[in-house]
Structure 1
Amino acid sequence: MSEPLFRGVMPALVTPFRDGAVDQDTYVALIERQIAGGVHGLVPVGTTGETSTLSHDEHRLVVDLCIKTTAGRVPVIAGAGSNSTREAIELVKHAKAVGADAAMVVTPYYNRPSQEGMYAHYAAINEAVQLPVIVYNVPSRTGVDISNDTLGRLSKLPNIVGVKDATGDMTRPTMQRLLCGQDWVMLSGDDPSALGYMAHGGHGSISVSVNVAPDLVSTFYNAALSGDWKTALYWQDRLIRLHKALFTDASPAPTKFALAHLGLCSEDARLPIAPASEAARKEVLAALHDAGIV
């Protein structure tokens, strides 16, 4: 059996801001910290990167800067989703043009397409751009849940190569292996349940927590990938409070608070994301202590 196209842990990178603009120098420093911490790839302009409040020019800037900074050291999967198929195609075309290794395309949100509509959305992208595409399924945010059967159909298309699954449903990886084949890339999008996802055959994760603790989270995934479940369980227990704390308020406010506490970036986020609440801050600080980060 061949190795999956993508494996291991990849941060859903935060986009740092200062004075209302993308803080490019800090973004470069955050990327370097992730690579030094042992991550297996990078994912700019996903949900944690506040893609929904970036302008198109800022979106392209962040993707460009990530690819240039990374310089081929690890793969880059560029966020490129939209609830407009035409716009998603343009973003995937840009990702390909600037050298991304793949694009992450979220299921169309708000307009709540049918399963057939979602199939047609990804099929159109597959036809328009020759770049590997990871389907991002996060029904808690988008209002739609792409089914295993639809993913099975999509897996037959040459450029639709895998999924980021943020459902926390442990039955999905097994069913998708059976429906989509052994080459289908399965990445968790839910840090608290990622140990179970890996045990059920997952290949890795696009993670929020790794923004805060790249070395620790990478160690967890290296253990899981090697089948050392005892070590993986140790790190799961040590990191679980952090996984939960980073979602005690609207993301990425708690993550940016954690990074600010570590002196790595400002807390600034774009409205409607407000600063982390006092309760969230207390939980994040306790989680950082429990994980041995501070």
Structure 2
Amino acid sequence: MNIKGIIPAILTPLTKEEDFHPEVTKQLIDRLIDSGVHGIFALGTNGEFHLFSEEEKLQIAETVVNAVAGRVPVFIGAGENSTEATIRLSNKLADIGVDVLSVITPYFVAPSQEELYEHFRRISENVRIPILLYNIPSRTGVSLAPETVLRLSSLPNVLGIKDSSGDIANIKAYLDVTKDEEFVVLAGTDSLILETLKLGGSGAVAATANVLPKIVVGLYESFQQGELDQSEQFQQQLQPLRATFTLGTLPAPLKKAAELSGLPVGPPKSPVKELSGEALEAVTHMIENYRTQAKSAKEQ
């Protein structure tokens, strides 16, 4: 499978009662695919995967697979804290028709590099569809070392890694050690999409695409066409949205930005609360500025 381009890490739309909202999920997916994205990534960090039961995850995954309907590859977060639970969920997701499993490192337990290798090796041996490793040390407390990634890259169905460390040196290290392997490195931090592409990365799993899909896709496509000045401009245009991510607990700012952009994705799942007060005002102002810029660009 050729993994490349912009793969939005989609939000999980919820009703006011915090139940999964299939209809809005379909709206979001159609909007993203119409904008030219190269895949759909559900049940990641911004998709609040850690707050859903296995039954809910399977419902969400089935909705996403059906909504995408083969138009682009579907990536679903399958990582649980134990190896056994991850394998069980992974095989159920494979039965649904998921194309690629995103498997986050175990969290809270902080395993050693050898334990991480054995965790992913066992998963690889016991699932039948491709695996994308997911490294996000700020949330899990553990990071996959480049040497461990190199070992894992030789496993037949480990296709690549999404790195959300926020450290371009880490991405470069992954690219360097796997340069002789058929292995994909994707940016998981949206501020590093262009830098990752310049180093030879294949694309990005981008949360900002929930709100600004055409800008993120434009960044990738202009880079592929050698239009570096244009891709730099697109990269800079993502920053006002990214700057609001610190105004509340993840993913509350992004959900509010999506809602203000016309997609009723609903609230974050408790205990996370919706934005209010100055934070809400800041996100509202940010979205209004994007609208003004888009209108001005059309008139030129």
Partner of 1:96: 94
Partner of 1:216: 215
Match 1:138 to one of 136, 139, 149: 136
- How big is the shift at 1:98? 1.4
Match 2:79 to one of 78, 81, 102: 81
Matched position secondary structure for 2:172? helix
Matched position secondary structure for 2:103? strand
Q: Deviations over 1:152-207 (max 9, x none)?
A: 00001011111100112222333223322352111111011222122111111111
State how many pairs are aligned: 291
Partner of 1:265: 264
Assess, with a 3 A threshold, how the Cα gap between structure 1 residues 160 and 266 changes in structure 2: closer, same or farther. closer
The alignment status of 1:10 with 2:7, answered yes or no, reads yes
Match 2:162 to one of 152, 164, 188: 164
When the two structures are superposed, what TM-score results if normalisation uses the length of structure 2?
A: 0.92
Assess, with a 3 A threshold, how the Cα gap between structure 1 residues 94 and 248 changes in structure 2: closer, same or farther. same
Return the alpha-carbon distance in structure 1 between the equivalents of residues 213 and 265 of structure 2.
18
Q: Which runs of 5+ in 2 are unaligned?
A: 296-300
Return the alpha-carbon distance in structure 2 between the equivalents of residues 203 and 280 of structure 1.
34
**Which moved further from structure 2: 277-286 or 55-64?**
277-286
Q: Deviations over 1:71-121 (max 9, x none)?
A: 110011111011111111112112211111110000000011000111011
Amino acid in structure 2 at the alignment position of 1:196? E
Q: Which structure: greater helix fraction?
A: 2
Return the alpha-carbon distance in structure 1 between the equivalents of residues 278 and 158 of structure 2.
41
Preserved contact between residue 173 and residue 201 of structure 1 (Cα < 8 Å):
no
Return the alpha-carbon distance in structure 2 between the equivalents of residues 226 and 185 of structure 1.
20
Return the alpha-carbon distance in structure 2 between the equivalents of residues 194 and 282 of structure 1.
28
- How big is the shift at 1:290? 4.1
Q: Which runs of 5+ in 1 are unaligned?
A: none
Partner of 2:298: none
**Which moved further from structure 2: 181-190 or 283-292?**
283-292
Q: Deviations over 1:254-289 (max 9, x none)?
A: 111112112311431111211124333233233324
Q: Deviations over 1:131-155 (max 9, x none)?
A: 1111100000000011011000000
- How big is the shift at 1:5? 2.2
Return the alpha-carbon distance in structure 2 between the equivalents of residues 86 and 144 of structure 1.
19
Amino acid in structure 1 at the alignment position of 2:207? V
Partner of 1:106: 104
Preserved contact between residue 12 and residue 265 of structure 2 (Cα < 8 Å):
no
Return the alpha-carbon distance in structure 2 between the equivalents of residues 34 and 199 of structure 1.
24
When the two structures are superposed, what TM-score results if normalisation uses the length of structure 1?
A: 0.94
Q: Deviations over 1:212-232 (max 9, x none)?
A: 111121111112233321111
**Which moved further from structure 2: 99-108 or 218-227?**
218-227
The alignment status of 1:70 with 2:68, answered yes or no, reads yes
**Which moved further from structure 2: 223-232 or 80-89?**
223-232
Return the alpha-carbon distance in structure 1 between the equivalents of residues 183 and 258 of structure 2.
33
Matched position secondary structure for 1:255? helix
Note the aligned Cα RMSD (angstroms): 1.6
The alignment status of 1:115 with 2:113, answered yes or no, reads yes
Return the alpha-carbon distance in structure 1 between the equivalents of residues 200 and 226 of structure 2.
11
Partner of 2:247: 248
Partner of 1:57: 55
Runs of 4+ in 1 over 6 A off after TM superposition: none
Return the alpha-carbon distance in structure 2 between the equivalents of residues 284 and 236 of structure 1.
19
